[in-house]
Amino acid sequence: MIDKSIKIQRTQSVLRELIPEALSTLEDEMLRGVCVVDVECSRGKYDAIVYLDGSIYDEAEKRYILSHLDRVQRHIQTHCMQAEGWFRCPRFTFHFDDSLERQNKMDALFAKVEEELKKGKNNDA
């Protein structure tokens, strides 16, 4: 069972490198700038969820990117298969990962709380 997990992790790692490489070959400027955050393959490696950084895009841009990535999916799969010599490549599902955005909001809240606590201590002294 561990052996399969290692194979999946290796495939995910390779795809994290190959997908941005494939995107860089596209003519669409917006798609070339998309940053791949993570890739999660299914157990049989038939499907993969590709997480993208959405922190710099508004909702309209995100919809545009997702719809166009679905259109160029075959190109991305072909690039990955040729680069690795694979017989088949997972079918990609693209999602924007907002965990970085949430983390930044949490960091800002903690910084604000810390600042308020410092102000409170200075007023007490």
> What confidence score (pLDDT) does residue 23 get?
95
How confident is the model over 67-91, as pLDDT tens digits? 999 999 999 999 999 999 999 999 9
How confident is the model over 96-110, as pLDDT tens digits? 987 766 777 778 888
Average pLDDT over residues 3-32: 90
Q: For 6-98, which CATH class?
A: alpha beta
Do 46 and 35 meet the contact criterion of CB atoms below 8 Å apart? no
Q: Which residues pair with 96 in a beta bridge?
A: 52
> What confidence score (pLDDT) does residue 112 get?
84
Q: Is 112 exposed, middle or buried (0-12, 13-18, 19+ CB in 10 A)?
A: exposed
> What confidence score (pLDDT) does residue 4 get?
60
User: Does the pLDDT of residue 18 top 70, yes or no?
Assistant: yes
Tell me how far apart the alpha carbons of residues 62 and 30 are, in angstroms, rounded to a whole number: 10
Average pLDDT over residues 26-36: 92
Give the whole-number percent of the chain exceeding pLDDT 90. 61
Q: Where are the domains of the chain?
A: 6-98
What pTM value is reported for the model?
Answer: 0.75
User: Does the pLDDT of residue 3 top 70, yes or no?
Assistant: no
> What confidence score (pLDDT) does residue 101 get?
67
